[in-house]
Chain A
Amino acid sequence: MLAAFPRLRAILLRVAQAIPVVIGVVVISFLLTRALPGDPAVYFAGVAADEASIEETRVAMGLDRPLPVQFVHYVGDLMRGDLGQSLSSGRPVATDLANRLPASLELTLTALILAVVIAVPLGVLAATRPGTWVDHLCRVVVTAGVSLPTFFTGILLIYIFYYILGIAPSPLGRLDFIYLSPDHVTGFYLIDAALMGDWETWRGAAKQLILPAATLALFTLAPIARMTRAAMLTALSSDFIRTARAAGLSNRAVLYRYAFRNALLPVVTTLGMVFSFALGANVLVEKVFAWPGIGSYAVEALVVSDYAAVQGFVLAMALLFVALNLVIDLLYTAIDPRIGFDAQ
């Protein structure tokens, strides 16, 4: 029956391929939680625990049972969305993460959109005008972008735009305290404020967002620009472009309808790697700008050795990354008409 819908078949196949990866991620997360320094039972029993209460914790947490049994329980807990209790906030880790996730997503997605909007045209221009200033600019941006530590870029931007020029608000979180945070609809302040029609708050949130997003964008820009340039150069030198030009198509049509659409495929593939970097760099940027997302949550938890929170964060990030990669691959299927029929 599925044979009639090759596109749907390809999509289902790709979704099925994500399953072993998710299983692997869960296994590694489980091993990380069980590899805590010393005895986890001693740790979770608390500071004032004696022998008996440590033993009690061990039994209560199932730590006295063999590892495979513990793993089954761990997976069972995950299925119910239970990532354990955070010691520092006293709430379930899953709740904390869910509360803070929109802040991280808003930052990361804004940065990625910013990076793509700048990097793709830059790469295309550099490829179509080799040797000009655009090409050199592209090269400088690419080399500098991969050498810049994200946390350092962030601090430099704060110094320039907050301290010297005074045009950026103080780098403390998502919204200055003079504004009330908008009603929770999506958790994205920009969208929520726009839904309420509160443009004052929207501007305030946008002002706070622009520096951290720019920091993250600078970092993710480099690989995208590099890949776009290389892919465009490859596409422009291929035979079908020569044919298209020989057939008398306009420069514009050749560039955008033929070369660009083909160059887009390798670019979309690199986006997966870029996401990996962006999610990691996100942690550093959140720390620099005191952004209340899941990255700074993990950093705070690390400082006070709140392991359940850290491990929950690692798992959540990995699952997010797997999901993003899945979305990219599905996008790929949508962009490339050949894929649906090629896949068996």
Chain B
Amino acid sequence: MSDITPADMPRQSGTLDHVIHVLRANPVTLIAFGMFAFLILSAVIGPAVVPYDPLATNASNALQPPSWAHWFGTDQIGRDVFSRVIVATRLDLTISVAAVAISFVVGSILGCIAGYWGGWPDIILNRFLDTIMAFPLFVLAMGIVAALGNTVENIIYATAIINMPFYARLVRAEVNIRRDAGFVRAAKLAGCSDIRVLATQIFPNALPPMMVQVSLNLGWAILNAAGLSFIGLGVSPPTAEWGIMVAEGANFIVSGEWWLAVFPGLWLMFAVFTFNLLGDGLRDIVDPRKRT
């Protein structure tokens, strides 16, 4: 394992072969990648290509059922639901990606410190993570947003905080089992500092399981952020966002205008489903033993 450089080239192509093999054997993963590309595309170019302005109201054309002109119908003040659903992709993805990125970075640093040096930082971190996990996580997110203030940034921080324990624990475990491995000792003997050994020798080994965690976590982060805005936190009304659109549409469901809530809800489901499929697919690639 320690002689990386000469064995590196064949191993790389072996990984690629493995990826191709898994993708061929499991077309669902391929579809998941396609769905993921679609989501990214609608987040990037969506606002530029949608047929209507997502904020333009038109009172004479309110509450129209889906038609050729308005694929997903119009809402109570005549805004085009399709345009709003597509435009919302960017905001929803931004919130969840930012939140997951923060928990990834903070979790990695804390996990590395605790896993590599052990001792009291490890004990304190574990106690701290236990305490976070002692809260029902969504409820803790509500409390954090209420305490920090009702803004989109705070939704991101709250989602990051409740996801952080999963990353910190994963990294801590991965780092801990390798801190005395042969290649780590070799690197130390070669004169590398602790930080350098951690960053270049140990941490990269934790990346594959982390990627799986990221993918599964993104879906959950979207659900969480949408749930928070559904109860009126973070995103404020005229903005297009899936959770708030479902919340507004919910008032019309009892009178039969189903398209207001159903389409944003379906899109939300689609996004979460994509990330879950992707996570399962990535797990097949990274760790074939855990295939279910």
A residues sitting closer than 8 Å to B (CB atoms) are: 20-21, 24-25, 27-29, 32-33, 35-37, 143-144, 146-152, 155-156, 158-159, 162-163, 170-171, 230, 275-277, 279-281, 283-284, 287-288, 298-299, 302-303, 307, 310-311, 313-314, 317-318, 321-322, 325
Shortest Cβ distance from residue A308 to the other chain B in the assembled complex, whole angstroms: 10
| With A147-B273, A149-B226, A155-B246 as contacts: A28 and B268 at CB distance below 8 Å | no
Query: Using Cβ atoms and an 8 Å threshold, which residues of chain A touch B142?
Result: 283, 298, 302, 310, 314
Cβ of A284 and Cβ of B227 under 8 Å apart?
Answer: yes
Partner of A284, one of B231, B268, B272, B292: B231
Partner of A318, one of B130, B134, B258, B292: B134
* 13 intermolecular pairs with C-beta atoms under 8 Å apart: A147-B276, A152-B268, A156-B262, A277-B137, A280-B136, A288-B250, A299-B232, A302-B150, A314-B135, A314-B140, A314-B146, A318-B135, A318-B140
Query: Using Cβ atoms and an 8 Å threshold, which residues of chain A touch B249?
Result: 155
Cβ of A279 and Cβ of B136 under 8 Å apart?
Answer: yes
Shortest Cβ distance from residue B128 to the other chain A in the assembled complex, whole angstroms: 8
Cα of A322 to Cα of B133 in the assembled complex, Å: 10
Cβ of B147 and Cβ of A302 under 8 Å apart?
Answer: no
Cβ of A279 and Cβ of B139 under 8 Å apart?
Answer: yes
Classify the interface of chain B: helix, strand, loop or mixed. helix
Cβ of A36 and Cβ of B231 under 8 Å apart?
Answer: no
Query: Using Cβ atoms and an 8 Å threshold, which residues of chain B touch A276?
Result: 133, 135-137
| With A276-B137, A280-B139 as contacts: A147 and B219 at CB distance below 8 Å | yes
Partner of B231, one of A24, A275, A302: A302
Query: Using Cβ atoms and an 8 Å threshold, which residues of chain B touch A24?
Result: 127-128, 130-131, 134
Question: Does B33 sit within 8 A of A, measured CB to CB?
Answer: no
Most buried by B among A32, A276, A307: A276
Partner of B253, one of A27, A29, A155, A281: A155
Partner of A311, one of B136, B143, B230, B233: B143
Tell me the nearest residue of chain B to A294, going by C-beta. Answer: B139
| With A24-B131, A149-B223 as contacts: A314 and B139 at CB distance below 8 Å | yes
B residues sitting closer than 8 Å to A (CB atoms) are: 127-128, 130-140, 142-144, 146-150, 219, 223, 226-227, 230-233, 243, 246-247, 249-250, 253-256, 258, 261-262, 265, 268-269, 272-273, 276-277, 292
Cβ of A314 and Cβ of B143 under 8 Å apart?
Answer: yes
| With A25-B134, A280-B139, A314-B143 as contacts: A163 and B253 at CB distance below 8 Å | yes
Cβ of B269 and Cβ of A281 under 8 Å apart?
Answer: no
Query: Using Cβ atoms and an 8 Å threshold, which residues of chain A touch B149?
Result: 37
Shortest Cβ distance from residue A21 to the other chain B in the assembled complex, whole angstroms: 5
Cα of A148 to Cα of B132 in the assembled complex, Å: 25
Cβ of B144 and Cβ of A32 under 8 Å apart?
Answer: yes
Cβ of B233 and Cβ of A321 under 8 Å apart?
Answer: no
Tell me the nearest residue of chain B to A226, going by C-beta. Answer: B292
17 other A-B residue contacts (CB within 8 Å) besides A275-B136, A279-B136, A318-B134: A21-B134, A37-B149, A146-B272, A146-B276, A147-B269, A147-B272, A147-B276, A148-B269, A149-B269, A151-B250, A152-B246, A152-B265, A163-B253, A277-B137, A284-B227, A287-B230, A302-B150
Tell me the nearest residue of chain B to A152, going by C-beta. Answer: B265
Cα of A149 to Cα of B230 in the assembled complex, Å: 11
Cβ of A158 and Cβ of B134 under 8 Å apart?
Answer: no
Cα of A281 to Cα of B132 in the assembled complex, Å: 18
Cβ of A283 and Cβ of B139 under 8 Å apart?
Answer: yes
Query: Using Cβ atoms and an 8 Å threshold, which residues of chain B touch A159?
Result: 253, 258, 262
Of all A-B residue pairs in the complex, the 9 with the closest CB atoms, nearest first, are A280-B138, A24-B131, A314-B143, A152-B265, A279-B136, A37-B149, A147-B273, A32-B147, A310-B146
Cα of A162 to Cα of B258 in the assembled complex, Å: 12
| With A32-B143, A159-B258 as contacts: A149 and B135 at CB distance below 8 Å | no
Tell me the nearest residue of chain A to B143, going by C-beta. Answer: A314
Query: Using Cβ atoms and an 8 Å threshold, which residues of chain A touch B273?
Result: 143-144, 147
Cα of A230 to Cα of B265 in the assembled complex, Å: 30
Query: Using Cβ atoms and an 8 Å threshold, which residues of chain B touch A148?
Result: 269
| With A32-B143, A152-B246, A163-B253 as contacts: A322 and B134 at CB distance below 8 Å | yes
Shortest Cβ distance from residue A330 to the other chain B in the assembled complex, whole angstroms: 17
Cα of A281 to Cα of B133 in the assembled complex, Å: 16
Tell me the nearest residue of chain B to A320, going by C-beta. Answer: B136
Query: Using Cβ atoms and an 8 Å threshold, which residues of chain B touch A37?
Result: 147-149
Cα of A24 to Cα of B250 in the assembled complex, Å: 38
Query: Using Cβ atoms and an 8 Å threshold, which residues of chain B touch A302?
Result: 142, 146, 150, 231-233
Shortest Cβ distance from residue A294 to the other chain B in the assembled complex, whole angstroms: 10
Cβ of B254 and Cβ of A162 under 8 Å apart?
Answer: yes
| With A146-B276, A149-B269, A322-B134 as contacts: A303 and B232 at CB distance below 8 Å | yes
Cα of A229 to Cα of B132 in the assembled complex, Å: 29
| With A20-B127, A284-B231 as contacts: A149 and B258 at CB distance below 8 Å | no
